[in-house]
Amino acid sequence: MNVVPAFPAEIEVNGARLGVRAPPVARLSSVLRDELGLLGTKVGCDAGDCGSCTVLLDGEPVCACLVPLAQATGRKVETVEGLAQVRLSALQASFHHHGAAQCGICTPGFLMAASALLAKNPRPSETQAREALAGVLCRCTGYRKILRAVTEAWRLDGLAAGSAAQDFALLAHPSPIGLFLPRLDGVAKVTGTEKFGADVLMPGALFVRAIRSPHHHARFRFGDLDAFGRAHPGLERVFTARDIPGENRFGVIPAFADQPALAESVARFRGEAVALVAGERRAVEALDLETFPVTWEKLPALLDTDEAEAAPALHAERPGNLLVRGLVARGAPGTALAEAAFTVEGALETSFVEHAYIEPEAGCAWMEGDTLAIAACTQAPFMDRDETAKVLGLSPERVRIIPTATGGGFGSKLDLSVQPLIGLVALLTGRPAALAFSRAESMMATTKRHPARLRARIGADADGRLVGMAFEGKFDTGAYASWGPTVANRVPVHASGPYRTPHYRAEAAAIHTHGPVAGAFRGFGVPQAAALGETLMDRLADACGMDALEFRLLNALRDGDQTVTGQTLSVGVGVRACLDALRPHWTRARAGAEAFNQTAGVVRRGAGLAVGWYGCGNTSLPNPSTIKIGLTAEGRVVLHQGAVDIGQGSNTAIAQIASEALGLPLDRFGLVGADTALTPDAGKTSASRQTFVSGRAAEAATKKLREKILRWANVGQNAELALDGACLELREGDAFRRLDLAGMARDAEGYVFAAQATFDPPTSPLDENGQGVPYAMYGFGAQLVELEVDTALGTVNLLKVTAAHDVGRAVNPLLAEGQVEGGIAQGIGMALMEEYVPGRTENLHDYLIPTIGDVPEIETILVEVPDPIGPFGAKGLGEHTLIPTAPAILNAIRRATGAVLTRLPATPDRVLAALPTARA
Amino acid sequence: MAYVRPQTLDEALGLMASGRWTQLAGGTDVFPARAGKPLPDDVLDLGALGELERIEEPPEYWAIGAGVTWAAIQRAKLPPAFFALQAAAREVGAVQVQNRATLGGNLCNASPAADGVPALLVLDAEVELRSRSVARRLRLEEFILGNRRTARRPDELLTRILVPKASASGGTAFQKLGARRYLVISIAMCAARLALDEGGRVSHAAVAVGACSPVAQRLPALERDLLGRPAHREALAALPDPARHFAELSPIGDVRAAASYRRVAAAEIVRRALAEAAGRLDAPCSAAA
């Protein structure tokens, strides 16, 4: 008989024969997750593009999303859950040890692909590992640490327990700052037990899907919704904007809130949600949403900022479609540039860039009595709480946000996604409600990096000293405000680069179109501005007849200098130290390229430099973090760590700071949160602020806790603490005290001692010319890119990136390197391949992000120029890792070939067309 | 609603005659096309047909079953002329897709950027189509009619790909151009095959370009011009002339590249493929590389 019955079926998973009830066509990924509860297999695209669902079928890696259950029956399926037997496998221990997992969403896929390789070839070369792992995408790590973990896993073979023990021994270190410490939350990531947005399911949950606009701009009317519901058994209810009990308008900046959770009669961008369906999972999955009763009247769409400025406004209160204009001006740049000995000018146009984290937005909502609880991936739990409460007509206290592990964010998960939608369904039905965006939805409906049209002119005097800069940028902010105002304000502050620029005028405007909503993406517009500014700096160095590195050094900010906003940076300016660190590499790379080009044919080699800087935290706005810490009667330190760890490492770095400040080792620590019901507000994970702002709050809270303890024990400041079970021992010289915590009074939360502190970086408002103190701290970086250009095809082959970043103090060098490598990978994508086109690249095979073969060797140099305002001198890092990458690539392309690119990404066709000898 | 999984080819052909089915072999086209959409409920699962998973060598042909995967092609012991096909096999997605995707699926899906087509075109490949009542053979050029269009009749299955022994000779090369290293849909690709006569002159030339027209195209004008030339790499590579040899191509501009670029790039990768194929004439045992 060849008709395969709908169910049941039996498959062998990790050696166990399991019965499942699912249709034979069901994707194996869905069977593993939804029927067998094996949630370690992740779903990132359902199209075989991302590889995060990689499992082994009879020992060979396959994408479980492409295998029907019927073809897995009678064969051996192995998943991440089968890797660890009692203890971590050597491969898992190696991933943990090398920091190969950041957010962890792609980790199970990599582990499975790697385990198939290692079974055949225990000591693979880097090339062999690359080939074997090429089918899995990672957006956080830049792949370097993954490659290392795989090629060196053999070193741990048979020693897995020992190696893990070595890593765990670090937790007993009395002074953990500066240790190459594997992440505290890392074991769950390498075992696949970490719970992401789609992994939290409440029994009886309704499954939710959204109906979205297929047009950039359209008026719509619903047909008979009741009839649709009746026609689909298992469908519980349909929801539209009419059902929204509160104010149907959200936004990350309250003054600009303009985005409906469900559109009301007009959709302003392709992918905007207009209705929800909720019901039993199979019934909702089986719905063909194209049959949903809605009629669209397509309206003219504005997709170009120039056009939009002259067109009717998307939002009546914003004539000319101008959302915000930002300005920084000082001196007389017009005169200075007119009188400059050397000037260069240029223009650059950039594209929408998609965050393309491997985890599409997902979450689950349910009622806890009167409180609406929402577990979802996010970067900003308290903002989610307040905005969701507003949309649903609840007081903020009646909404609890429980961030799940977040499978990459990079800025886009600062904005609401699933929260108001599942919140609405749970609130109105009383039943739990779950929603996981498809890849296409995730790409269509969430924010992008702003496309920019930039022009700038810079000039230097006869000695090569910068005299002035004029900069103008138009940013396509899409249909709704999101972080557009932030981009418009941040760009003029940063467009100068970290240089002494006495005369300056920079303007940036965020203009609405019917494009996707542009919001925050690692750097808030600064990477686009730097891609122009740093290429002009290179050309100006040439014009002045100076070496590109020496020219930058001459003009770089020093301690005591003023920035273009008139802010005096008295100490901690690390840009020159970064350039100094690159000097030997620059010399080597230039000589190498020159020698190569003497003999080369169509392939030309080039080396390019660029620097970047980044103001950490909000621009001239309050930006507090609050951290709480307590000591329990059982002798455990509990850190209420509300700084959401989206893979960047705040769970580890903030705990290291607290441990160092308290003087008790990390193995005595437990982490609570982030959870708006359990942890105080540590702000959002953005703007490179968590290590700095939340780290500083953690340091302050911990010092307060320590003081309380010392005062109680009546010992001096230098006392050493130790925990012996539930006894706290304090030693200072000959003095010794022993506190039996178990016998002491405890507060409502069970703490014998507890403290909380808030830190808000000191900034001042910018005046009408953008003068003031926008940030309390800046981070700096410089990168050197070596590459080859195939001048017959326009293809670019990266050879090496050397990156020097000033982190103030490397709290955790392992995680810091991970940030640098990941930022560079995203910079490579922005420079060479990433261009989101609504309606055309809504998947991960038409929208290209770098694969494991596109990120070359990266040498990271961590420069430590302490900033007194940072915790133990530490500075923010996340964003300036990416800022120099694209311009360094563009500079290397120009030095290799003479090609000046005016459009990003620099795809092969654009590079070829830009060659001086272009034949295209 | 049914999901059928025939165990023999005859059974499968009987089913093809009796209804319309979504044919599912490796699933690498069926599932991606339905991401976020309902799955089909009329599936003919071709995955249990061992008959279609064999590579055989009857007297006149190399016969590759339609169900042979790209991973199996890479591993197979085949003559050196299959180098281009084996190189293409390594560029179909990554290992996860190569382990599942089949040659038959690649041809029936008929994407303009199908990785396997140029290499099969230069081998003068034919396809075998079978229905319950009829078996027929078509040249690959006659089978793929356009973007996502083939000559397969509703009741037919593509069963085998046949490469004439006479064409499985000479040196071949495959060039793929994309905007990233792995997992990339081609901007352009090229396969070339050159064979020499006893005097060391080109006796047979086949060149095919993919992703630059709705269906990958052989370049007969170029092939004619190559005949009789000495197998000198540089000289062969210098021959392709955009003005005379590429009339079959009709590239479009899309998110991957401009049309004008595709013309230039196609000519360049053809030159490289010719040089590489000529170089491989001296290294007849490189198929397993």
Cross-chain residue pair B97–A68, CB shorter than 8 Å: no
- List the single residue in B with minimal CA-CA distance to A46: B35
Over residues A16-29, mean pLDDT: 95
Q: Tell me the two tokens of residue B66.
A: 């339609």
Q: Quick one: which of A438, A446, A416, A445 has its CA closest to A209?
A: A438
Nearest to A851 among B27, B181, B261 (CB): B181
Q: H-helix or E-strand containing A889?
A: helix A885-897
Q: Reading across the β-sheet that carries A603-615, which strands appear in turn?
A: A603-615, A778-790, A795-806, A857-863
* pLDDT tens profile B192-239: 999 999 999 999 999 999 999 999 999 999 999 999 999 899 999 999
Read off the amino acid at residue B29. Answer: D
List of residues 6+ apart from B58 with CB closer than 8 A: none
Query: Confidence band (pLDDT; 50, 70, 90) for A88?
Result: confident
pLDDT of A887 above 90: yes
Query: Confidence band (pLDDT; 50, 70, 90) for B283?
Result: very low
pLDDT, mean over chain A: 96
Over residues A867-893, mean pLDDT: 97
Over residues B177-184, mean pLDDT: 95
Q: Tell me the two tokens of residue B136.
A: 């027929």
d(CA A206, CA A229): 14
Over residues A118-130, mean pLDDT: 97
Mutate to test the interface with B, among A4, A25, A146, A796 (most CBs of B within 10 A): A25
* Helix segments in chain B, DSSP class H: 9-18, 70-75, 83-89, 95-98, 103-109, 117-122, 140-143, 220-226, 233-238, 259-280
pLDDT of A161 above 60: no
* pLDDT at res. A478: 98
The counts of H helices and E strands in chain B are: 10, 14
Proportion of chain B above pLDDT 90, given as a percent = 95
Over residues A630-643, mean pLDDT: 97
pLDDT, mean over chain B: 95
Contact present, B263 and B274 (Cβ < 8 Å): no
Closest approach of A546 to chain B, Cα-based (Å): 34
Mutate to test the interface with A, among B96, B234, B271 (most CBs of A within 10 A): B96
Among A residues 53-112, those touching chain B with beta carbons less than 8 Å apart: 54, 57, 60-63, 65-68, 70-71
d(CA B199, CA B180): 41
Cross-chain residue pair A852–B182, CB shorter than 8 Å: yes
CA A352 from centre of chain: 16
Over residues B181-187, mean pLDDT: 95
Q: How many Å from the N-terminal Cα to the C-terminal Cα in chain B?
A: 46
* pLDDT at res. A156: 85
Query: Confidence band (pLDDT; 50, 70, 90) for A86?
Result: confident
Cross-chain residue pair A912–B99, CB shorter than 8 Å: no
Contact present, B169 and B178 (Cβ < 8 Å): no
* pLDDT at res. A162: 54
Q: Is A919 on the interface with B (CB under 8 A)?
A: yes
Among A residues 504-563, those touching chain B with beta carbons less than 8 Å apart: none
pLDDT of B287 above 50: no
Cross-chain residue pair A912–B7, CB shorter than 8 Å: no
Mutate to test the interface with B, among A3, A66, A121, A277 (most CBs of B within 10 A): A66
Mutate to test the interface with A, among B49, B95, B184 (most CBs of A within 10 A): B95
pTM of the model: 0.97
Nearest to B179 among A4, A57, A833 (CB): A833
* pLDDT at res. A87: 82
* pLDDT at res. A426: 98
Pairing of the two strands B42-45 and B2-4: parallel
Q: Is A461 exposed, middle or buried (0-12, 13-18, 19+ CB in 10 A)?
A: middle
Over residues A651-677, mean pLDDT: 96
Cross-chain residue pair B31–A47, CB shorter than 8 Å: yes
pLDDT of B243 above 70: yes
Q: Quick one: which of A634, A624, A623, A639 has its CA closest to A705?
A: A639
Among B residues 124-183, those touching chain A with beta carbons less than 8 Å apart: 177, 179-183
Cross-chain residue pair B31–A832, CB shorter than 8 Å: no
* pLDDT at res. B75: 97
* pLDDT at res. B127: 98
Cross-chain residue pair B35–A439, CB shorter than 8 Å: yes
Over residues A18-27, mean pLDDT: 94
Q: Tell me the two tokens of residue A80.
A: 């991440």
Contact present, A453 and A513 (Cβ < 8 Å): no
d(CA A450, CA A518): 5
What are the chain B neighbours of A60 within 8 Å (beta carbons)?
71, 95, 99
Query: Confidence band (pLDDT; 50, 70, 90) for B263?
Result: very high
Read off the amino acid at residue A747. Answer: D
- List the single residue in A with minimal CA-CA distance to B1: A6
* pLDDT at res. A167: 75
- List the single residue in A with minimal CA-CA distance to B264: A920
Cross-chain residue pair A61–B4, CB shorter than 8 Å: no
Q: Tell me the two tokens of residue A118.
A: 């290692």
Q: Is A578 exposed, middle or buried (0-12, 13-18, 19+ CB in 10 A)?
A: buried
- The residue length of chain A stands at 920
Whole-angstrom CA distances from B198 to B65, B192, B228, B231, B282 are: 34, 20, 11, 11, 13
The CA radius of gyration of chain B, in Å to the nearest whole number, is: 19
d(CA B64, CA A65): 27
d(CA A404, CA A381): 10
Among B residues 244-263, those touching chain A with beta carbons less than 8 Å apart: 255-258, 260-261
d(CA B260, CA A593): 30
Mutate to test the interface with B, among A7, A30, A71 (most CBs of B within 10 A): A71
* pLDDT tens profile B69-107: 999 999 999 999 999 999 999 999 999 999 999 999 999
ipTM of the complex: 0.96
* pLDDT tens profile A842-874: 999 999 999 999 999 999 999 999 999 999 999
* pLDDT at res. A168: 77
What are the chain B neighbours of A848 within 8 Å (beta carbons)?
179-180, 184
DSSP code string of A570-620 = -S---HHHHHHHHHHHHHHHHHHHHHHHHH-SSEEEEEEEEEEEEE-SSSS
Query: Confidence band (pLDDT; 50, 70, 90) for A40?
Result: very high
Cross-chain residue pair B47–A27, CB shorter than 8 Å: no
Closest approach of B58 to chain A, Cα-based (Å): 30
Over residues A281-286, mean pLDDT: 93
Cross-chain residue pair A25–B180, CB shorter than 8 Å: no
3-class DSSP state of A763: coil
Over residues A502-522, mean pLDDT: 98
* pLDDT at res. A120: 97
Q: Is B268 on the interface with A (CB under 8 A)?
A: yes
* pLDDT at res. A7: 66
* pLDDT tens profile A231-271: 999 999 999 999 999 999 999 999 999 999 999 999 999 99
* pLDDT tens profile A704-763: 999 999 999 999 999 999 999 999 999 999 889 999 999 999 999 999 999 999 999 999
A to B CB pairs, distance under 8 Å: 179
Query: Confidence band (pLDDT; 50, 70, 90) for A158?
Result: low
Pairing of the two strands A9-13 and A16-20: antiparallel
* pLDDT tens profile B11-49: 999 999 998 999 999 999 999 999 999 999 899 999 999
Q: Is B71 on the interface with A (CB under 8 A)?
A: yes
